[in-house]
Amino acid sequence: MDINIPKGVRERLPERAYALKELMERIRERFESYGYLLYIPPTYEHSDLFVLRSGEEIRERMFVFRSKSGKKEYALRPEVTAQIARSVALGKISYPRPIRLYYFANVFRYEEPQRGRYREFRQAGVELIGSSNILADAETIALLEDSVESVGVSEYIIGINDVALVREFLRRFVPEGYVQQVLTAIDRVRSLMRRGHETTVAEELRKRGIEIDVSKIEEFVSIKDPAELTRFGLDPSRLLELFEKLEDMGVKRYSFEPTIVRGLEYYTSIVYEMDVPKLGGASQVAGGGRYDELISEFGGPKEPCVGFAIGLDRLLEASKVSPRIPKPLVYVIPLTTKRLGEILKALRSEFVTVLDVSGRKLRKSLVRAIEQGARFAIIVGEREVKEGKVVLKDLNERTQEVVRIEELVGKIKEKLGS
């Protein structure tokens, strides 16, 4: 029998759990300050939802299982965007446009575990639905920057590209039928080189049994300035307009990166990724872009959309967030249980209060109260309770007094204010 944690997943013990909680709280504050509303997705779906347009890499890494009858196939969610798009397509989310939603969710992909890559990982993300204006793209990038800076990350770069231009280029210079395979190869090269593996587009295509001339592709992905795209008969005006809006919004740490195409097939125009160099091979902490056709492919109206997802575990590694583990202010030692519920209810309405349930002797219980960092110990004694009182010990001042139960909370507040 094996009761160990399965490969590729992790438990988060209190110190890391509270650090993650603090990270999520800061990001939640940023999301809501921009007007985004919370969405909570299902953990699993019919696999068709993700198979339709999530892309080869996602499809190959889904955790799939069947119903007991064997007639239906389900998948643990590998991403959240498709779930939100489905809900909009079915009319479940019908707020005035543009709709702004955010989420926190565990997602599941059958990866080969390594530093920064797990089979279960936690994401935070946003989706802005119903605006084709380039300002919507700029807002999500500004929000991404704002979110990571709120947790103390300042050394990062946001790479930006327009996958519509990449597809247009490939249709001109790549044999018909190979566009998606080449996009996948370009994305794979970027991913592998980020992790220190040398490879080329030609090599990645050969692994798929594809032999084509890639000289133009290599020339294209070496471009540093989007204005150079005109050499290939491409119009970079949308990219240039986005960069202008980003400057106006105070976003500075971005660059044009022609190798960013994203692994998800539903992206239609602007795409972007955020890297934190100090994380090495696991440097990508976020990615997103525009997807204007996904909702219509689920049977809904054509709705322009843009959004991103942040990998929270990677971001936590790069952040300066410290766990804020709650410590008890009050430690209650019951020598009797008479009126105990009343006493605890009053205390817990105001303070973090721990009840000693060990049954140990008073001296040892007081030592334990000090070890847990409590400021006050309340001794509920038989004689005192009969008189409607308890003993209040100030463990910092090393003083004690007998206090009426109804005055206990006020007395502690008085001591805290002095």
pLDDT, one tens digit per residue, over 94-117 is 899 999 999 999 999 998 777 767
Q: Which tops the pLDDT comparison, 145 or 417? A: 145
Q: What is the pTM of this model?
A: 0.91
Q: Does 204 have pLDDT greater than 90?
A: no
Q: Does 193 have pLDDT greater than 90?
A: no
**What superfamily in CATH does domain 330-417 come from?**
Anticodon-binding domain (3.40.50.800)
CATH class given for the domain over 14-318: alpha beta
Which CA distances in Å does 387 have to 62, 179, 342? 65, 84, 15
For 177: left if phi > 0, alpha if psi spans -120 to 50, otherwise beta; the answer is: left
Domain ranges of the chain: 14-318, 330-417
pLDDT in tens, 344-363: 999 999 999 999 999 999 99
pLDDT of residue 211: 85
pLDDT of residue 55: 64
Enter the DSSP assignment of 405. Answer: G
| Mean pLDDT over the full length of the chain | 93
108: CB partners within 8 A, 6+ apart = 62, 63, 76, 77, 78, 119, 120
Rounded (10°) angle between helices 163-173 and 179-194? 120
Burial class (CB in 10 A: 0-12, 13-18, 19+), 359: exposed
